[in-house]
Structure 1
Amino acid sequence: MALSARSLRSDAARNRELLLAAAEEEFAKRGMDASVADIARRAGVAKGTVFRHFATKEELVAVVVGGHFVSLSTVAGALLESADPTAALLEFLTVAAQQLQHQDLAFLQEVTEGDPTVTECRSQLHAGTSALVDRAQEAGGIRSDVTGADILLLLCALVHTIGLRTEPTPDSWRRHLIILFDGLRPQGASPLPDPAPERL
């Protein structure tokens, strides 16, 4: 009996999710040396299935990276409705750090530099983060001279910091996040040198 169009779409969507999850694992393990065959094998699909969803490995990388930006942009957008802007920014950083600590995919951002889709997703994340920062500053919760780009760069630094610990626990990042966030508070803040970064 022929499969219905809905069933085919469901299978395609499931395969795409499997491929993206497998790609993240393979890229984290092997870097750009991860092959399409490796990814297909981990996802439990045929190699041809990969190319039905992604024309090239580079396109697959771009979708993986862009997906992380979109996920965090969605979190930022939802938190813009929070009644406590300072707590909302801390919650955003908490969610972002929790997601990123499980990933060793920073190198992929360099690989996808200039990709128009990734650039657009990154811009949306910058906009969402900057909006959270603006609200927290207006509420007096954080110093007035930091930018959304500062926040994202500090988040990257937090992820690398955890990677340097010899015996990190699953919650090691929380200690350093609190240190980071307390450094954003206006009390006792020293003037910042140099121009603020405009983007990540």
Structure 2
Amino acid sequence: MADTTPASGPRADMVRNRRLLLTAAAEAFAECGVDVSMSEIAQRAGLAKGTVFRHFASKDDLLAAIMLQLLDRLTDLAAHLSRAEDAGAALREFMTAGVEALAADQAFCDVIGRPSLQQAEVRDAIGRLGDVVDDLTARAKEQGAVRPDVTGTDITLLLGGIHQTAAPLLDTDPQLWRRYLELALDGLRDSGARALPHPPPARLRLPAPSPQD
């Protein structure tokens, strides 16, 4: 019988510490935004501050790791839902989960424009998310569940737009985003709506940072 005893030693400690740091950082950033200090994150994780920097050289490296977790979670969900029989219901479920995840994370808007988004892994993850949301949206259009001029990029951008619309009041009304999500979903339906007055945006592929960055 194979030995199922958890591994021990320096390697296991590194894996455990990284997991503790990511969990503590995700909670701290979600609650307080990106201004939370590395010292507080270390304290939440029950680790020395030096341990944080052995795993993540800077706060932006840590933010990138947290962003990757969110992007991968949304990508996995979209890929799973793209196989659902009812593509319209699947798109609704994806958008609901996406906006809910953003509404629970105060750091999301703070991260936009930071160097962490220029890391190659984050850019690649954004590209993967765009691919699966394109597929999910295309299936919804094929079934007539959404208007034919909507793209996957529209859907991805709407997630952030809905969240930011409700963000100023989320402290006092944390479920307000559901109101604006429903308004957006109504606008996506293919029910004789007028043609959109502007062409769709380009895919969300962040450019590589310039050498001086």
User: 1:175 maps to which residue?
Assistant: 179
Which aligned pairs between 1:17-166 and structure 2 lie closer than 5 A?
Answer: 17-28=19-30, 31-105=33-107, 106-111=109-114, 112-165=116-169
1:192 correspondence with 2:193: no
Provide the C-alpha distance between the structure 2 equivalents of 1:51 and 1:167, rounded to a whole number of angstroms.
Answer: 32
Distance 1:65 1:166, change over 3 A: closer
- For the 8 Å contact 2:149–2:196, the answer to whether it is kept is yes
**1:37 offset after TM fit, Å?**
1.6
| Superposition RMSD in Å | 2.2
Distance 1:96 1:31, change over 3 A: closer
Supply the AA of the counterpart residue of 2:19.
E
SS across alignment from 1:187: coil
**1:164 offset after TM fit, Å?**
2.6
What percentage of residue pairs aligned between the two structures are identical? Answer: 41
**Which stretch has the larger CA shift, 131-140 or 186-195?**
186-195
Supply the AA of the counterpart residue of 1:108.
V
**1:64 offset after TM fit, Å?**
1.0
Provide the C-alpha distance between the structure 2 equivalents of 1:90 and 1:158, rounded to a whole number of angstroms.
Answer: 13
SS across alignment from 1:141: coil
Which 5+ residue runs of structure 1 have no aligned equivalent? none
**1:10 offset after TM fit, Å?**
4.5
TM-score using structure 2 length: 0.83
**Which stretch has the larger CA shift, 92-101 or 71-80?**
92-101
Deviations 1:54-105 (A, max 9, x none): 2332211111112111110000011111011111100101111221111112
Which 5+ residue runs of structure 2 have no aligned equivalent? 205-213
Q: Which has the higher helix share?
A: 1
Supply the AA of the counterpart residue of 1:35.
S
Figure out how many residues of one structure are paired with residues of the other and give that number. Answer: 197
- The structure 1 segments of at least 4 consecutive aligned residues displaced by more than 6 Å after TM superposition are none
- For the 8 Å contact 2:33–2:106, the answer to whether it is kept is no
